[in-house]
Structure 1
Amino acid sequence: MTRKIQLMETYVNIDFGNSPLLKFHKELQIPYSSIKGITTGRPIPNAFKLFGLLLGGMRNGLFRSNGGYQLHIFENEIETLHLDLNSFKVGKFKISKLIIGVENPEEISKNISERVN
């Protein structure tokens, strides 16, 4: 699945393409002010699936972990970008973390970090 991340002046635009799990939100515009932290790599494995798909290293959907809601969209858990969010609203849920599969997650993380700080 192809995802496109664009760094705009005041926000990160994430285009999910044709994700069947995000029919109403084909893209998210996350203000830099809503980003509390950025990491890459393997996600925390103890998330409870609320809605979506969990198969091997692939996760697509809404998960609950550490008292918050997380949105996971990736096929390869190693090539992931993790955005810790300040209760960013997606639909009716306040998302505390977005974990998304992307190419070159370290480079994207560095570019977003420069704009957040």
Structure 2
Amino acid sequence: MERTIQLMETHLNIDLGNPPFLKLDNGLQIPYSSIKGITTGRPIPNAFKLYGFSFGGIRNGLFRFNGGYHLYFFNNEVDTLHFDLNNFHVGKFKISKLIIDVKNPEEISKTISERLT
């Protein structure tokens, strides 16, 4: 499943497909003001799964790590984009990190970072 990111004027639209464990049919709309930072690379390996799927290098769902809630949507942990979030809620959970797999994560990271300044 390829994730798509649309850069809008005030927020990002992230299409996650139709994750089977979470009701995110409309994807995520993340205001730029909620993004504290963006990086690329390998994800945090020891997060505790709350809802979703975790097998080998594949992660899809809601995870808990160091007291924060994370959303992971990746099948390829190498080509991942990491969003550090502030005041972003999905349902009743305050999400502190979103990690998704995308093509060309470095290029996308640079483009989004330019919008954050």
Q: Which runs of 5+ in 1 are unaligned?
A: none
Runs (4+) of structure 1 exceeding 2 A deviation are 21-26
Structure 2 length normalisation: TM-score? Answer: 0.95
Deviation at 1:66, TM superposition (A): 1.3
> Structure 2 stretches of 5 or more lacking a match?
none
Deviation, 1:22, is 3.2
In 2, Cα distance between equivalents of 1:97 and 1:14? 14
Distance 2:68 2:44 in 1: 13
Hey, what's the Cα distance between the residues in 2 that align with 1:61 and 1:27?
13
| Percentage of matched positions with identical amino acids | 74
Equivalent position SS for 2:33: helix
Give matches, 1:1-117, under 5 Å: 1-117=1-117
Is the Cα–Cα contact under 8 Å of residues 16 and 24 in structure 2 kept in the other structure?
no
Q: Deviations over 1:54-108 (max 9, x none)?
A: 1111000111011100000000001100000003101111100000111111111
Give, in whole Å, the separation in 1 of the partners of 2:71 and 2:24: 14
Q: TM-score, normalised by structure 1?
A: 0.95
Q: Secondary structure at the match of 1:21?
A: coil
